[in-house]
Homo-oligomer: A and B are copies of this chain.
């Protein structure tokens, strides 16, 4: 069950193990940013995570008897194009997950840095798993806040429902210790049902921002249905910060052709209230993966973002920082991804 894959039960097998694994992905890409006035800036780049992500994992598990087990998961992103790792030099080395787990048939507890339930419900209902130019998070705004909860939270306590609870339910509840820091106090959850071809989940998370300011609240719904010949997938995200709010929906389809996989996605976001009220943007893209083995593939992406009004979204590349205010961002790439 992908939607709860941040639990140890969902991550790996159930025996005793200690593993080093990872997913490396590098592509050659080109991104053209264009402002409303038509000023263009083009950057070519080598970039990681165009399709499959780019992470290293150290994970272990030990069964304790009586259905009880314990373990840990340490995950970091790796910038394979330049040799960087995690959020160094200023952020942590393990910037994705660093947690210890204790579970039994009643569910699983986790302490540490864990992906937020609100983000899990987005990433697993995005056909691109939020990787590369076509990743869906590029349209989702923190609404001017600096909340740490968009992706993962440090200093968190987590409870996960056991896999297949009640015949297909899944769930994750997370609370954090702010330890005196702003933008870090979070409470959120996701719950869903996944059985056979169907998966549907709902999530909500609230993050305290800075003293005297309102909370940042995200609510989202995601789902997929696999018809065999093709799979429909999508989500709807609402985020609020005081007067400002943003609604983003995504619709996608994925289907196989032989050893190839085709993924299409269309998303649209609109601000209401606040300084950006009325601004909107849409993103569309296609990804083709040609699998060379179960774990290895070559891929290509085409992706485009169109902004209206004061929106200034762009394809996720740190290299092309030229303005896209009321303009567009267009990119394409080709790369290699391998899991080990």
Stretch at the interface among A32-40, A80-88, A119-127, A304-312: A80-88
Q: Does A45 contact B (CB under 8 A)?
A: yes
Are A89 and B86 in touch, CB under 8 angstroms?
Answer: no
**A339 to B, closest residue via Cβ:** B62
B80 near A338 with CB under 8 A, answer no
- Cβ A93 vs Cβ B100 within 8 A: no
Select which of B20, B24, B86, B102 is within 8 A of A83 by beta carbon: B86
Find out whether the CB atom of B26 lies under 8 angstroms from the CB atom of A112. Answer: yes
Q: Does A95 contact B (CB under 8 A)?
A: yes
Q: Are B111 and A98 in contact (CB under 8 A)?
A: no
| Contact call A94/B98, Cβ cutoff below 8 A | no
Contact A177 B92 (CB under 8 A): no
Interface size class of A (residues with CB under 8 A): 35 or more
A20 to B17, CA, bound (A): 12
A179 to B81, CA, bound (A): 11
A61-101 with Cβ < 8 A to chain B = 62, 64-65, 68, 70-72, 74, 76, 78-86, 88-90, 92-100
Asked if A330 is at the interface of the complex by the 8 Å CB criterion, the answer is no
Does A154 interact with chain B (Cβ within 8 Å)?
yes
Q: Does A331 count as interface, using CB distance less than 8 angstroms? A: no
A42 to B95, CA, bound (A): 28
> What is the CB-to-nearest-CB distance from A164 to chain B, in angstroms, rounded to a whole number?
24
Does A140 lie at the interface of the complex (its beta carbon under 8 Å from any beta carbon of B)?
no
Contact A340 B88 (CB under 8 A): no
Contact B72 A112 (CB under 8 A): no
User: Cα distance A95–B89 when bound, in Å?
Assistant: 13
Collect the chain B residues with CB atoms within 8 Å of residue A105's CB: none
Interface status of A113 (Cβ within 8 A of chain B): yes
User: What separation, in Å, do the CA atoms of A310 and B56 have in the docked complex?
Assistant: 48
The 8 A CB mask of A96-137 against B (1 = contact, 0 = none) is 111110100000000111000000000000000000000000
Collect the chain B residues with CB atoms within 8 Å of residue A78's CB. Answer: 74, 94, 98
- In the assembled complex, which residues on chain B have CB atoms less than 8 Å from the CB atom of A46? 111-112, 155-157, 177, 179
How far is it, in angstroms, between the C-alpha of A165 and the C-alpha of B15 when the chains are bound?
Answer: 41
Residue A326 at the B interface, CB < 8 A?
Answer: no
Contacts of A100 in B (CB 8 A): 24-26, 80, 336, 338
A28-B111, A83-B113, A100-B80 known; A62 and B18 CB under 8 Å? Answer: no
Residues of A1-38 at the interface with B, using a CB-CB cut-off of 8 Å, are 18, 20, 24-28
Q: A25-B100, A70-B292, A179-B319 are in contact. List 12 more A-B contacts (CB 8 A).
A: A20-B58, A43-B179, A44-B177, A62-B296, A74-B80, A76-B83, A80-B98, A80-B99, A80-B100, A84-B93, A102-B336, A180-B319
Nearest 4 CB-CB pairs, A to B?
Answer: A83-B92, A83-B94, A85-B93, A26-B111
Q: Identify 25 residue pairs between A and B in the complex whose beta-carbon atoms are under 8 Å apart, listed by A's number.
A: A18-B340, A24-B100, A25-B100, A26-B111, A27-B111, A43-B179, A45-B179, A46-B157, A56-B58, A62-B295, A62-B338, A65-B293, A70-B292, A70-B336, A71-B338, A72-B338, A78-B98, A80-B98, A80-B100, A80-B111, A81-B98, A81-B112, A83-B92, A88-B88, A88-B89
